[in-house]
Every structure is written in C-alpha cells, then in structure tokens.
Amino acid sequence: MDAAEFRRRGKEMVDFVADYQENIEHRRVYPDVEPGYLRSMIPSEAPLEPESYEDVLRDVDRVIMPGVTHWLSPHFYAYYANSTSFPSILADLLSSGIGTIGFTWAANPACSELETVMLDWLGKMLQLPEDFLSETQGQGGGVIQGTASEATLMALLSARLKTVKCVQESDPQRSEADIISKLIAYTSEEAHSSVEKASIIGGVVIRMVPTDEHFSVRAETLEKMVAEDKATGYIPFFFCATLGTTPCCAFDKIDELGPICNAENIWMHIDAAYAGCAFICPEFRPLLNGVEFADSFSINPNKFLLVGFDCSAIMMWVLKGFYFFLPLHLFSTSLSPHLSSDSQHWGIPMARRFRSLKLWFVFRMYGLRGLQAFIRKHVELAKTFENLVRGDNNFEICAEVVMGLVCFRLKGSDELNKALLKQITRTGKIYLVPCKLRGRFVLRFVVCGRTTELRHIQEAWKHITELSSELLQNLFDHEGKEN
Ligand code: PLP
C-alpha cells in the first residue's frame, strides 16, 4: 500500500468507523457466537502471497464483526465503560501514523514532555496536592501506564524496594530475600483481583481487609491487622485503597486510613480506576480527601473520561520520592534535562507509544466543563435507573448508588437472578455482568456509552422487567403445580 492508496483507504476507514458508531445501537450488543467460532472461518496459516485490501475488509464483516461485543453501544451496561470519543480515536491515528517511541527524552522529546504536562493538567483537574505534580520541582509526577493493574504492580514493587532499603539501613546484615519473605501487603476484600495478582508477581503475602456495611475499609480494622502482623514478625509495607470498587463502587475511607499508613511507614496506593475520573467534578472531589497521605494514585481515563483504552489509560503520581522499579545504575545515562521525563524508569516496558496525544486532544476538545457534563449525565442516568428499580416491588437495590453503577437484584434466590441474567444475555438486547456482594448474586448496571440517552435506560428497564415478569410467572405456575 503506497501513500496514495493509504490516503484513499484511510478516508474509507474513517467513514467505516463513523458509520459503525452512528448505527451501533441497531447491532446486537452481545455476539451470538460459540467459543472457537473464528478458527474455522479463516485459514490455519498466514498467506504466502499478499492478499488485496478488499479481501481483508470483506473478512472484517464476515469474520470479525459477528464476534464483537459492542462496548460502545448504548445497550452496553457491563464492567466499567470504555468511554472513547472521536478526538481520542483521531489522536490514536496520529500516534500510529507518527510511529515514534518515547522512553527517554531524546528518544522522543515531544512524547516525554507532553506526557508530563498532561499528567499535570489532569492532576490539577483533580485538585491533587502540589506534590503530585512534576511542575512543582518536587519528586512527584506521573506517567501513563497501560492499565490499572500495571499501576498497582508498579506501586507495590516500588513500595517493596523502598522498604527493603529502609530495613537494610537499620540492619545492614539482613538479606533482601529474608526481608521480602516477611513483607505483608493489605487491600480491601472488595478490591479488584489485580491487587492480589500484583502481590503474587511481587512475591509478597497479602491480607484482605474486611469492609464495613458500606463495603468500605475502615481505619480500626486495618490498624488491628497491622498490629497483629507486626507482633508475629511481619513487616507491613503496602496498602492498596480502592476508591470505587469494581463490584459496587464503594469507597475506602482514605482520610482515616492514610494517617495510619503514614505512621506505620506503609505505602498507600489508591486505585481509583473508574471513580477517580469523576473527581474532576467538585461535588465528587470530597471522596478523594485524604489523598495527601498517599504515595501513589491511579485512575483510568479510558473508563470515564472519553479517552480510548490503553493509550493514556492510567496515571500514577508518586509522592515523597519515587522508588524506581530497577536501580538507576542499571540504565544508561539519561539524555534528558529532567530525569523524571525518562518514563522508561516508571514502568515495566522500555518502549512507549505516544499515548498522551489522546489526553491532549480530549482535554482540549471537551474542556473541563465538557468532561464534567459527560460524567454528570452518566450519574444522572444511573440515578434514573435506580429510581425505576426502587419503584418496582419485585426488585431491590443492593448498594448505595454514587456514580454510574447500580447494583440490583430480583428479591428472591440467587438462582432466580442467575436465570434473569441468562435470559438477558441470551436475548442480546442489552449486556450486563454480575457480581457477588456479601455472598449474594447481584446484577450490575453501569451507564457506559457516550451516546446513552434516557430512552435507552427506559428501554433497558422495560426489557428487564418483561423478562423478569416471564420468569416470575413461570416460577408461580411451577410452584402452583407442585402444590
Ligand atoms: N481496579 C479497579 C477498581 C477496577 O474497577 C478495575 C477494572 O474494572 C481494575 C482495577 C482493572 O483495570 P485494568 O483492566 O485497567 O487493569
């Protein structure tokens, strides 16, 4: 493909994407395919000779589209959203087109510098303490990680390195292996599985902290566990707080947990993957009070800030000095004016894409006000859904609705709710996923789409109640027969 053909095909592809998104609500949101569907539809080996672009594109329609779960559909209410937007898609195209890789300042000055400045912009939008910003000449600052899971892992590894150094300063004879075997991390029993995964990769023990009736970790619970573990020779070193848990969007009390972590020399990382984006709205910002006690903080703009996945997915700020994943002497001399610009030291991969372009395009083309309006609209739609659920005596709300997530269930058994979800998934009109809250099977309804409107929420609720009425009628008939 030469530049002339690329120009033509590129325009066609933009049309394809625009058409796809404009008409997405008419597609079945969850695909009707079985596992392994794709293998039989394409050859088992790569072609020896080049094929035409037309052939490839034809197979996008034939092979790919039937197996796509349409995350951008207004009928998609699962997980937490992937909230991309047209400016973000264009920035991604530009990033791919430039094809540059930034890991030191010299490898791509614009990439290194824009990322640093964009994270400062974001930090200010979130009203983070100045120590988190790189412009303040402190040791704080941020980089873009691929995912929240990577950010948590980086925080845990940094905390491990810091603690090993501290312990060895007071006890130089003690080996690193011995210290690591005694390290203990903590997180909420409601935390995302990526925190436990980080502890496994980091080779440290982790304890799950029980939550209160609001699914929040409280200070006295953590304090007690830390005291118990210290008494048996463990070294508490890391606590991952969650703001906006995955099952029900609960918030750990970081303003009371932070002082304990600081007093005990425990690194506090805050995983605010989804909910953190909403802290750009003053009405939600109080939930972040206590961030001043944290060592690191991460959010996923791709979940709730109109930035597409992966590129510019996660930011991580580090307070009170960042402990590089690998000791500095392992790296060649930096050519950058600021060491903190060498983002290769802040994550696992060396090479990095130009992901900050997405933030730049989206922040400029929506403005803070536009992004706030987007978040508020989602929260309002979720409240509407909550009211519809509350208005129906067959259903119950299972957790406080703070942002765009509503946890609800049919009053009755887990089996009944599983049957309802099965019907919802089978019909493919809307897509939801479940969670467990206090051992009960619960349905999660997350307002996800950029184009989700009130009518979609009303249609979704109508669909859910129609399916549930059928189920309840069947149950009633069945019980009637048995009696
Ligand atoms: N942390 C929280 C609170 C989440 O809700 C999620 C995913 O929804 C994750 C971490 C994992 O995110 P990622 O896929 O970016 O690693």
Atom nearest to 314 CA in ligand 1: 15
pLDDT at site 345: 67
* Whether residue 273 has its Cβ less than 6 Å from ligand 1: yes
Residue 175 has pLDDT above 60, yes or no: yes
pLDDT at site 313: 43
pLDDT at site 329: 39
Tell me the average pLDDT across 347-356: 83
Give 365-421 pLDDT, tens digit per residue: 999 999 999 999 999 999 999 999 999 999 999 999 999 999 999 999 999 999 999
Q: Which residue has the tokens 């007071």?
A: 170
Q: How close is the Cα of 192 to the center of ligand 1, in Å?
A: 6
Residue 335 has pLDDT above 60, yes or no: no
Of the two residues 318 and 68, the one the predictor is more confident about is 68
Say which range, 73-82, 121-130, 138-147, 188-197, has the weakest mean pLDDT: 138-147
* Whether residue 194 has its Cβ less than 6 Å from ligand 1: yes
In the structure encoding, which two tokens stand for residue 466, read together? 């129609």
Residue 222 has pLDDT above 90, yes or no: yes
pLDDT at site 105: 80
Sorting pLDDT into bands at 50, 70 and 90, what band is 340? Answer: very low
Spell out the residues 6+ positions from residue 20 whose beta carbon is closer than 8 angstroms to its own: none
Query: Class of the 94-361 domain?
Result: alpha beta
Contact by Cβ (8 Å): 361, 263: no
3-state secondary structure of 166: helix
CA 260-250-222 angle, 5° bins: 25
pLDDT at site 331: 41
Q: Which residue minimizes the CA distance to atom 5 of ligand 1? A: 246
Say which range, 147-151, 212-216, 399-403, has the weakest mean pLDDT: 147-151
Sorting pLDDT into bands at 50, 70 and 90, what band is 317? Answer: low
Q: Where are the domains of the chain?
A: 94-361
Percent over 70 (pLDDT), the chain: 91
pLDDT at site 47: 96
Query: What count of residues does the chain have?
Result: 483
* Whether residue 134 has its Cβ less than 6 Å from ligand 1: no
pLDDT at site 59: 96
Of the two residues 1 and 317, the one the predictor is more confident about is 1
* Whether residue 417 has its Cβ less than 6 Å from ligand 1: no
* Whether residue 253 has its Cβ less than 6 Å from ligand 1: no
* Whether residue 188 has its Cβ less than 6 Å from ligand 1: no
Say which range, 236-250, 292-306, 332-346, has the weakest mean pLDDT: 332-346
pLDDT at site 41: 96
Tell me the average pLDDT across 155-174: 92
Give 36-61 pLDDT, tens digit per residue: 999 999 999 999 999 999 999 999 99
Where are any strands of DSSP class E within 93-215?
Answer: 142-145, 183-188, 205-209
Tell me the average pLDDT across 89-102: 92
Q: What does the alpha-carbon distance between residue 182 and residue 173 come to, in Å, rounded to a whole number?
A: 15
Secondary structure, 3-state, 299-351? ECHHHHCCCCCCCCCEEEEECCCCCCCCCHHHCCCCCCCCHHHCHHHHCCCCC
Q: What does the alpha-carbon distance between residue 312 and residue 235 come to, in Å, rounded to a whole number?
A: 34
* Whether residue 154 has its Cβ less than 6 Å from ligand 1: no
Contact by Cβ (8 Å): 306, 84: yes
Tell me the average pLDDT across 165-182: 94
Tell me the average pLDDT across 101-119: 86
Sorting pLDDT into bands at 50, 70 and 90, what band is 482? Answer: low
Q: What does the alpha-carbon distance between residue 308 and residue 43 come to, in Å, rounded to a whole number?
A: 31
Tell me the average pLDDT across 66-93: 93
pLDDT at site 138: 60
Q: Which residue has the tokens 């590894």?
A: 157
Residue 332 has pLDDT above 50, yes or no: no
pLDDT at site 343: 64
| Pocket-testing residue among 71, 82, 149, 199, ligand 1, by greatest number of atoms within 8 A of Cβ | 149
In the structure encoding, which two tokens stand for residue 125, read together? 């939008």
Residue 443 has pLDDT above 90, yes or no: yes
Contact by Cβ (8 Å): 163, 406: no
DSSP strand pairing (296-299 vs 314-318): antiparallel
The model's pTM is 0.92
Mean pLDDT over the full length of the chain:
90
**H or E element at residue 446:** strand 440-446
Sorting pLDDT into bands at 50, 70 and 90, what band is 35? Answer: very high
Give 280-305 pLDDT, tens digit per residue: 999 999 999 999 999 999 999 999 99
Contact by Cβ (8 Å): 192, 270: no
